[in-house]
């Protein structure tokens, strides 16, 4: 493999979902093929016959060019620079960094630079030390391709990144309705609770962007807006496009929210009807069979005492028929949030308040559900599980 390969940087814009403007760029290595066409240099950096020493030399060459060009941009934009975690193992002196020297040389505000940690290999202790060094200098840290290959939770916990960039394949599969959807939402919740920001890479369609919004992602990057290009772009170039997408998302979200609210209202009324029938008729299931439960989404109801012990069977409803399942009789549910939350509430003048759980996947049916909890009296709590069909 030749060592005089000419590499140069291209810049892919990263847009803000909130403002609609370009807030940053990712610097990506490019090369020319035999016909002079620009193509990704990614294949070089995974070639087994090229030494790490050579790759580091090329990477630093591209980084120098990228930072020199970036130094000409206004101060309201940031640049993401990829650094392999495995290459950090070669650093002997963490007080000397090529990147920091370049930032000083080109007089770039260090707070405008994000070090994006790529690859899953590398010594974690050295990585943590390098991250601390960058942070002391004012740089921010991102983890790239989160969710690819294996869990990177250990790395997230160790370095506490400012930004998590979702793995492109994971994000796209989730956006297209794959089983990865729950994983992406889980990562989004993790990021929210730890103060990280989410960047969705591989945003190629309107649907991808809308899914990113539903996950709470602050930043988007992908071909829906632009591939990597040689030059920087007007920061407001995609303002109208993003505004239209946000408006469409709001319309869809409102429709879904209105449906959800109507569903919850029906379910709450169903619960109060159950309260009257169950309590007064002492579980006369034949009487309950005449009630309109068929299309209500109700899976089951059951009673617990104030200590969380299930004191009734699960009364299941299917095919217009009620039947009892004693499998969970005696189980304790006091540790579930909706149970102790409903105990903590006081009754209003008309009804006892109802507490609704977060959605979850039912163990037996694998259907997405929510649990509604209602305190019947000083001794008992009524709980019902219903199917969630608005997600």
In this prediction, residue 289 carries a pLDDT of 53
- C-alpha span between 263 and 253 (Å, rounded): 15
Residue 224 predicted with pLDDT over 60: yes
pLDDT digits (tens, 9 = 90+) for 339-361: 999 999 875 555 688 999 998 88
pLDDT digits (tens, 9 = 90+) for 373-385: 999 888 889 999 9
pLDDT averaged over the chain?
86
Domains of the chain, first to last? 8-237 (3.20.20.450), 253-387 (3.30.450.20)
In this prediction, residue 55 carries a pLDDT of 85
pTM as predicted:
0.85
- C-alpha span between 214 and 67 (Å, rounded): 34
- C-alpha span between 295 and 9 (Å, rounded): 58
What is the maximum alpha-carbon separation in the chain? 87
pLDDT digits (tens, 9 = 90+) for 328-343: 999 999 999 999 999 9
Q: Return the HEC string of 166-219.
A: ECHHHHHHHHCCCCCHHHHHHHHHHHHHHCCEEEEECCCCHHHHHHHHHCCCCE
Residue 2 predicted with pLDDT over 50: no
Residue 76 predicted with pLDDT over 90: no
Measure Cα distances from 167 to 29, 198, 313, 388 in Å. Answer: 19, 11, 44, 28
Percent of the chain with pLDDT over 70: 88
Q: Quick one: tokens of 120?
A: 């899953």
In this prediction, residue 279 carries a pLDDT of 60
User: Which of the pair, 178 or 208, is modelled with greater confidence?
Assistant: 208
Q: Assess contact for 257 and 243: CB atoms under 8 A.
A: no
Q: Assess contact for 332 and 308: CB atoms under 8 A.
A: yes
In this prediction, residue 182 carries a pLDDT of 80
Residue 144 predicted with pLDDT over 90: no
Q: What per-residue string of b and e applies to 27-42 under the rule 16 or more CB within 10 Å gives b?
A: bbbbbeeeeeeeeebe
Torsion angle of C-alpha atoms 90, 96, 98, 103, degrees rounded to 10: 150
pLDDT digits (tens, 9 = 90+) for 20-31: 999 999 999 999
Q: Quick one: tokens of 114?
A: 């994000």
Across 48-52, 230-234, 252-256, 325-329, least confident range: 48-52
Q: Assess contact for 83 and 67: CB atoms under 8 A.
A: no
DSSP-based three-state secondary structure for 366: coil
């Amino acid at each position: 493999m030749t060592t005089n390969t000419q590499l140069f940087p291209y810049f892919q814009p990263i847009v803000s979902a909130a403002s609609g403007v370009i807030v940053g760029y990712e610097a990506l290595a490019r090369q020319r093929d035999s016909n002079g066409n620009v193509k990704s240099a990614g294949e070089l950096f995974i070639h087994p016959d090229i030494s790490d020493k050579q790759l580091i030399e090329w990477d630093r060459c591209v980084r120098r060019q990228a930072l020199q060009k970036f130094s000409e941009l206004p101060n309201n934009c940031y640049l993401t620079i990829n650094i392999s975690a495995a290459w950090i193992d070669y650093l002997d002196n963490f007080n000397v960094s090529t990147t920091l020297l370049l930032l000083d040389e080109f007089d770039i505000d260090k707070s405008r630079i994000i070090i994006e940690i790529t690859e899953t290999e590398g010594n974690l202790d050295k990585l943590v030390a390098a991250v601390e060094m960058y942070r002391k200098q004012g740089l921010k840290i991102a983890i790239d391709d989160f969710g690819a290959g294996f869990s990177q939770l250990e790395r997230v916990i160790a370095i506490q990144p400012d930004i998590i960039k979702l793995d492109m394949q994971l994000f796209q599969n989730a956006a297209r309705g794959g089983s990865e959807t729950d994983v992406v939402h889980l990562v989004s919740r993790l990021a929210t609770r730890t103060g990280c920001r989410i960047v969705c890479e591989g945003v190629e369609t309107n649907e991808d962007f809308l899914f990113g919004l539903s996950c709470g992602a602050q930043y988007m990057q992908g071909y829906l807006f632009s591939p990597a290009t040689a030059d920087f772009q007007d920061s407001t170039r995609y303002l109208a496009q993003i505004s239209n997408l946000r408006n469409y998302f709001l319309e869809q979200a409102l429709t879904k929210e209105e449906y959800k609210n109507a569903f919850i209202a029906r379910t709450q009324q169903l619960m109060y009807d159950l309260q009257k029938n169950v309590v007064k008729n002492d579980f006369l299931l034949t009487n309950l069979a005449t009630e309109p439960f068929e299309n209500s989404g109700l899976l089951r109801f059951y009673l617990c005492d104030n200590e969380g012990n299930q004191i009734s069977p699960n009364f299941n409803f299917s095919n217009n028929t009620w039947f009892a399942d004693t499998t969970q009789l005696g189980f304790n549910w006091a540790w579930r949030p909706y149970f102790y939350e409903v105990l903590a509430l006081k009754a209003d003048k008309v009804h006892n308040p109802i507490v609704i759980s977060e959605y979850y996947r039912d163990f037996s049916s694998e259907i997405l559900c929510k649990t509604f909890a209602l305190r019947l009296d000083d001794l008992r709590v009524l709980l019902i599980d219903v199917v969630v069909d608005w997600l």
